[in-house]
Chain A
Amino acid sequence: MSEEGRNAEELRYRALLALDVFRTDARERLVEGLHDESWRVRRAAAGGFARVPGRAASVERLISVLGERDETGARNAAAEALVSLGSASVGPLVRLLGHVDPDQRKFAADILGQLARPEAEDALVSVLLEDGDLNVRVAAAEALGRMAGRSGARALERTLNDVEPLLRLSALESLAALRQPPPLSDVLPLLNNPLLKRSAYRVLGLIPRLEATELVCRGLGAESRSTREAALVALGQQAALTAPSLRSAMDVAVSQVLQRLPEASGWVASALESEDLELRAGALVVAAVLRSPKLAPLVAEVAQEERLVPEVMRTLACFGPETGRELLASMGRLSFPAREAAGQVLVEMVDASFVPELVQMLDWGELDVKSVAVRALGRTGSRDAVAPLAQLLSDPEMAALAARALVSLATSHRDLVLQVLESALEGGAEPAVLNALVRVGGTAKLPLVRRIASQASVSLRATAVEVVAAVDPVGGLELARSALVDESSSVRAAAVRVIGQLGDASMAELLARALADSALEVQLSALEAVGECGALERAGDLESLVRHPDGAIAFRAVRSLARLGLLRDEVLARAVSHEDHEVVKAALQAGADRGGGEALALELLGHARWDVRAAAARVLADSGGTSSLPTMLAALSLETDTLARRALVDAVERLSGR
């Protein structure tokens, strides 16, 4: 298009987007736009109808555009507009299904399919079974495939024996789309029909029964690639629908056919690489049975499709011990998601002989690859793994992981590990190293930890306070008290946490200061600690914080008050009206734990948030009182959220003893 042409098009496009839809000629301007030569302009026009007042009139006008035989672009744009008008279009389109012109009837069926409104189902069923024009019937079959209704599915099943192959095909495809497979006996005869077999396998895949698997397996041995692929797709579908406990029976059936198919490895490999997700899913099922480590990198690549990750992991787990080495050798070529999956497997499969390659991987740069190498090194049990891991202890990104790996290695090389951890600490390592040292060295290392607590960096000091408390409570509490005046808020927060865990009501005075600390971190720990150590004196402070706009503070205040057993009704009421739904749920739970929370729960059945309503239903179910049943049933009739509904249904069933 020339520059000028493009500018003109852009101007028409902008004008339609900016159109004042209350102008009297707005609708006609849009209709004109539907006839524009540019698809962008036509789309803008189609989108405009939803904003124009008077939907019924728009629908009629659009239907008249559908009748303009030579205006393909305009007709398609009108169809799009009718879809955007939603339920207003349904009645008139159902009437259009009775038009004398089959072309118009077909359009009506197509659009009704896109609208997928249940109100149109019966009309489409009649067209499917009775219309005189094949194309119209096919369109109706396709439309019914998007409705998810029972009567539509039954009508589609009846059509499976129609003489017209095209109609049978669309009926079959629609049943597959609806995930409503017909009886196995109806599918069986279709498996040999060249036109229908692909779709027949599709519906077969929706029947997770061994008989169906056996039929599918026959397809794996077919000469033609398309049949084989259809069977693979079906197998993948069945695997996804089959309960894990029945999977092994399925695998047996697959392995029996594979014995007769020595060339399977080849076509499984190419199916694993295909663009088609369903095909890849099926290929995984077969690969798991083939157990060929050579396929491992290809299998790992399937993890690019996140939905297939569980199946990828399952498949790799079926492969033999050589898989680890195969994956290690291909790491450099794998995509990120594949590396992630391969890494997980590798970590499970390493032994001492992997150390040199894993050490090489440490200097690859990519953090994920390094993490895998570190975790794997920790599982090799090899003395040679200690030194390379020790080098990572001063790397902030790797230290925690490396320290953990060293802790694993300590079961066989304790002294060496202790030595590297200590010297890393001398050099000012990360907190995780300190933790590891105490885990491996135990109380014997306390003097060292204490020295660190008094002089090292902020993060090491904070960790030291908690580490000491974990091994030596009396000394830990003492250390925590002195750390309460540390200049760093993380150290103070750690001290407060220790006081909460080890202290008692006598700490109330100290906690008062912490509650008023300027650092949020310290305040939050203090709120928790008050409840933990039973500092009843602080209840007043907590009560005022229940109002706090920051949900984090209000939430903890409610929980601590509940823990102290001091949550008064009016405070509870305040918490329930908090803006943050987690505060509301905390209050609801606190009310229930204290006894007599049903009234509150009944009230909250009408809360705006689904999770609060669900929590209220659970509280009512736990209370065991049946007097709330009528209110719950009323709530159930109004509930639209699936999870809240499920909680209500469970509660009603429990209470009514069903």
Chain B
Amino acid sequence: MMPFDTGRPEMNVEEFRLLRDFVYAYCGILVRDDMKYVMQRRLWPRLEALGLTDFGSYYRYLRFDAQRRPELETAIEALTTHETYFFREPRQLKAFSDEVLPVLERRNARTRRLRVWSAGCSSGEEAYTLAMLLKESGRFEGWDVEVHGSDISRRVLAVARQGEYGPSALRATSADQLSRYFVQLGPNRVRVRDDIRALVSFGHHNLQEPEQGSCSSRMDAVFCRNVLIYFDTPARQRVLRLIYEKLTPGGYLMLGHSENLINLSADFELVHLRGDLVYRRPELGGWSP
């Protein structure tokens, strides 16, 4: 018995498979077989909002209704977790600041240009955090610096652009960081300072549809943390291929702390920093793909 879920329609295995395949085809998100319950629970509010009584009808709605496109996006919203917060995974961030940024500063000294991409940025905390680190490093004054955040979910992007956050987004932010990078709006609400916001841009991008990408320039570093977890192996490989192509040779890739490229890609080399492990697109001497 599911104590809080009584009286709502069950999703049968066939409906589950149809919905799952459909979602997978659209954005590569893999809903594992043992997650039927999760899918059901997350889509219940959609059935309720649309006045539908079973998941078969919902599936047909997604396929055939005039509102199918926006509803599909809403369904994806519901199925993906947007867990994120400022200064998440501090160890990696420290390694980035202390060890990667000096390298990038040297490499790009001539162009004085730096591009960092937060792929699957959710509501923007990661992209802003990176902008804060770039600022704090003091290395790129007067440079052309941009942090680009992208996500498949338009709802989280709207939040990201607004740049206003509450307590849970700040649960790993120190009082010092709070006073340096945020403006207090109310007892429970802050806004990212304008000088940080000026470094960050956001765009919509389904990582499974490469040609749709919202950023055109080559990236010096890509953070793609806690995004690959949604995908199965071929879909992960597609994303990694895309990131590889977006990175400049010698550019860095940072994954979430529980993620790695074992059995996924040998395109990247593993770099042992003092503080953490990161990946890098190898340099290539005079050889162009």
Contact = CB atoms under 8 A, between A and B. Distances in A.
Given A348-B4, A611-B18, A331 B64 contact: no
B167 A364 contact: yes
B193 interface: no
Given A306-B35, A337-B81, A369-B166, A14 B64 contact: no
A400 B49 contact: yes
B168 A369 contact: yes
B3 interface: yes
B37 to A, nearest CB: 5
A582 B166 CA distance: 44
Given A339-B168, A360-B188, A3 B64 contact: no
Q: From DSSP, what is the main secondary structure of chain A's interface residues?
A: helix
Interface residues of A, number: 56
A8 B67 CA distance: 54
B282 A9 contact: yes
A367 B166 contact: no
Contacts of B285: 4, 7-8, 10-11
Given A10-B285, A551-B64, A552-B64, A306 B38 contact: yes
B241 interface: no
Contact of B3 (A6, A8, A317, A551): A317
A61 interface: no
B175 interface: no
B233 to A, nearest CB: 14
Given A6-B269, A11-B287, A524 B64 contact: yes
B65 interface: yes
Contacts of A614: 14
A7 B83 CA distance: 38
A314 B6 CA distance: 12
Contact of A317 (B4, B165, B168): B4
A521 interface: yes
Given A9-B282, A11-B284, A14-B284, A364 B34 contact: no
A334 B169 CA distance: 10
A6 B32 CA distance: 39
Nearest to B32: A307
Contacts of A363: 166, 186-189
Contact of B168 (A8, A331, A525): A331
B54 to A, nearest CB: 15
A262 interface: no
Nearest to B85: A335
Given A365-B169, A555-B64, A336 B3 contact: no
B36 to A, nearest CB: 10
A333 B189 CA distance: 15
Contacts of B171: 332-333
Contacts of A228: none
A336 B82 contact: yes
Nearest to A553: B64
A556 B61 CA distance: 12
A215 B37 CA distance: 30
Interface in B160-191: 164-169, 171, 186-189
B63 A552 contact: yes
Contacts of A6: 269, 282-283
Contacts of B5: 313
Interface string A33-77: 000000110011001000000000000000000000000000000
A493 interface: yes
A525 B168 CA distance: 43
A582 B60 contact: yes
Nearest to B286: A7
Of residues A7, A9, A333, A365, which shows the largest number of chain B Cβ atoms within 10 Å of its Cβ?
A: A365
Contact of B17 (A11, A13, A334, A643): A643
A364 B188 contact: yes
A96 B169 CA distance: 58
Nearest to A555: B64
Interface string B91-115: 0000000000000000000000000
A365 B189 contact: yes
A40 B269 CA distance: 8
B168 A552 contact: no
Interface string A304-329: 10110110011001000000000000
Nearest to A615: B14
A491 to B, nearest CB: 13
B238 interface: no
A555 B287 CA distance: 53
A570 interface: no
Given A313-B2, A524-B66, 4 more contacts: A40-B269, A307-B32, A365-B188, A614-B14
8 contacts: A6-B269, A14-B289, A40-B269, A47-B266, A310-B37, A366-B169, A524-B64, A611-B17
List 3 A-B pairs, minimum CB-CB distance, nearest first. Answer: A364-B166, A317-B3, A7-B285
Interface of B: 1-5, 13-14, 17-18, 32, 34-35, 37-38, 41, 49, 60, 63-68, 81-84, 123, 155, 159, 164-169, 171, 186-189, 266, 269, 282-285, 287, 289
